[in-house]
Amino acid sequence: TATTSAKIHVNGVDLHYQQTGEGSHAVLLLPGMLGSGQTDFGPQLKSMNKQLFTVVAWDPRGYGKSIPPSRDFPPDFFERDAKDAVDLMQALKFKKFSLLGWSDGGITALIAAAKYPNLIHKLVVWGANASVTQEDVRIYNGIRDVSKWSEKVKKPLEELYGYKYFAETCEAWVDGISRFAENSDGNICQQLLPDIKCPTFIIHGEKDPLVPQAHAEYIHKHIKGSRLLLMPEGKHNLHLRFAEDFNREVENFLR
């Protein structure tokens, strides 16, 4: 089936999304920092089962094609994204849906699942964290300067945004997320994890250079009945690098 690409007005902004499949189970894909459906979820939009699922990938405000507005990082930016994501799906007339969140999108998905339990069917997160440690801040500062990124990772984002917006937004993100380290326990959404009641699947790449494994273990421990899968060769982008394995695991969980 074809993939449609459109915008819909939600919470005062025009949010861009892509949609494919005609299955009765609706699934929202939530991208990571600077991400969009196009850059972050190619293999999922292409290969997830179109008979079982209706797959929606969104661009959060200020990212991808959901510009304007420019992206900013107020203290509640994850809550804002969670509300936007849920309201987008409701505007598209999905009564209940599952969330697949990567990295920042995983944090957004955790918050959405905790705050809107009646709307969320199942939850899958990978590369996510519920708090920010001093070690994390050190890792984030290591990626602050996008000119040092590998060409492969840098190129699609530079094409999407232009160099200036890409570089400035990355710096603003590092500052925005690092502020959580000042909270007690570096808290982002730790207190919300016990409120997540839907079936939850946490995937973590054991070679993830950006998110230490302790984060995945913490989320697993605090969401009752959740399942944790460790991928020995997986890095941060395990859903792209091992797309076939990832899609199979996730589809089996969502069935």
Catalytic residue IDs: 103, 208, 236
Cα–Cα nearest to 126, from 247, 248, 245, 237:
237
Q: Are residues 166 and 158 in contact, defined by beta-carbon separation less than 8 angstroms? A: yes
**How many residues are recorded in the chain?**
255
* Residue 161 φ then ψ, to 5°: -110, -20
d(CA 146, CA 144): 6
Pairing verdict, β 120-126 and 4-10: unpaired
d(CA 194, CA 192): 6
**What stretches of 96-162 show up as alpha helix (H) in DSSP?**
104-115, 134-142, 151-161
Burial class of residue 23 in the structure, from the number of CB atoms within 10 Å of its CB (0-12 exposed, 13-18 middle, 19+ buried): middle
CB count within 10 Å of CB 145 equals 12
Q: Are residues 198 and 224 in contact, defined by beta-carbon separation less than 8 angstroms? A: no
Unique residue bearing structure tokens 């973590």:
204
DSSP characters over 41-107: -HHHHHHS-TTTEEEEEEE-TTSTT--SSPP---TTHHHHHHHHHHHHHHHTT-SSEEEEEETHHHH
